[in-house]
Amino acid sequence: MTPQQITAIGNRSTRRYWVGSNRRHDRYNRSLVNRVEDLMDPSFLMNWKNLLQDNNRGKRGHPFKTPNAFITFLAKLRALYSVPFRSLEGIARVFSRISGIRTVCYTNIFRRIRKIVPTLPHTDGKPVDCAIDSTGFKITIRGDYLGTKWNRRRRGWNKLHAVISIHDVSVLSFSITDEHVHDAKEGRKILESVRDRILRIYGDKGYDSKKIFNDFGHGTIIPPRKNASTQSRGSPARAKVVRQIRRTSEKRWKESVQYGKRWNVEIYFSGLKRTMGEVIKAVRSDYIVQEIALKVQYYNIMREMTHAY
């Protein structure tokens, strides 16, 4: 059954519902609860001594007094709720009162969390349609008034460049740069790392690059700039798209290649910022990169646990 939008004149909120939608809200709501329960699994409390022995096996120097599993648990709390390090020490003290485990100071928490290297699981499979885009993360929460009043130096923002699988709306590859790096320049790097996983790549005009067109050929669904040449000039695939748009229109070309699929990357970025937050508390550049990467890593795990159909 094809979904048909409900028309409502009096009640605007009714327009968001669709007749024939196959979303199972009961299953979706349960998955939203279960994904946080699974992500914040405190089972390490029951295996504290064994985990500590494993972490200290072969370690040189002073032994750990807190297992890595507990530090990872605190890192998830910080990534998900932006909890300050001193507040994490308070949470550790609460666990100490409840279960009798040894507490840990915020300095130790800070040093252990900063050693975590964020990674995405390597997955093999057939190539899928993907979308590429970038989004910004704030590295300060002060408004324009404070900057103008006290002549504060503008700190700017950091960019997350990501390749998203349209099939399950999850990140295949990503990188983090400052605001001055061009999308196409960084996009070529992350696309190269997952080239074998991409069937077709969707992007906006910021990724109009001859190299991207040459790498993916007719699988490149990126609208060229308005002043793009119809001649090859090093990229026959790009010139073919330009000529097709000139013969018809950009709107018809987008309809013929299902360009609307590109919006899946916007859906991912929207969910990432609403769930994990868009303000980064770190100050040093390497710590900023780590905090953004941890948000991406843990949100990817949460999306895998979300089931709406």
CA–CA separation, 15 and 5 (whole Å):
7
Q: What is the DSSP letter of 279?
A: B
Confidence of residue 265 (pLDDT cuts 50, 70, 90): very high
Whether 267 is covered by a domain: the verdict is yes
**143, pLDDT greater than 90:** no
Asked if 106 and 143 sit in the same domain, the reply is: no
Query: What's the chain's average pLDDT?
Result: 88
Q: Find the CATH number of the domain harbouring 275.
A: 3.30.420
Quick one: which of 259, 153, 272 has its CA closest to 207?
A: 259
Per-residue pLDDT averaged across 118-146, rounded? 84
> Alpha carbon 215 to chain centroid distance?
24
Domain membership of residue 175 as a residue range: 128-284
pLDDT value, residue 3? 44
Count of alpha carbons within 13 Å of 83, Cβ hemisphere only? 21
Query: pTM of this prediction?
Result: 0.86
Whether 12 is covered by a domain: the verdict is no
**177, pLDDT greater than 80:** yes
pLDDT value, residue 141? 72
pLDDT value, residue 146? 65
Count of domains observed in the chain:
2
Count Cβ atoms within 10 A of the Cβ of residue 39 and give its class: 0-12 exposed, 13-18 middle, 19 or more buried.
Answer: middle
Asked if 226 and 93 sit in the same domain, the reply is: no
Per-residue pLDDT averaged across 216-224, rounded? 94
Asked if 156 and 101 sit in the same domain, the reply is: no
5 φ, ψ to 5°? -70, 140
Torsion over CA: 60, 72, 168, 251 (sign): negative
Per-residue pLDDT averaged across 83-104, rounded? 94
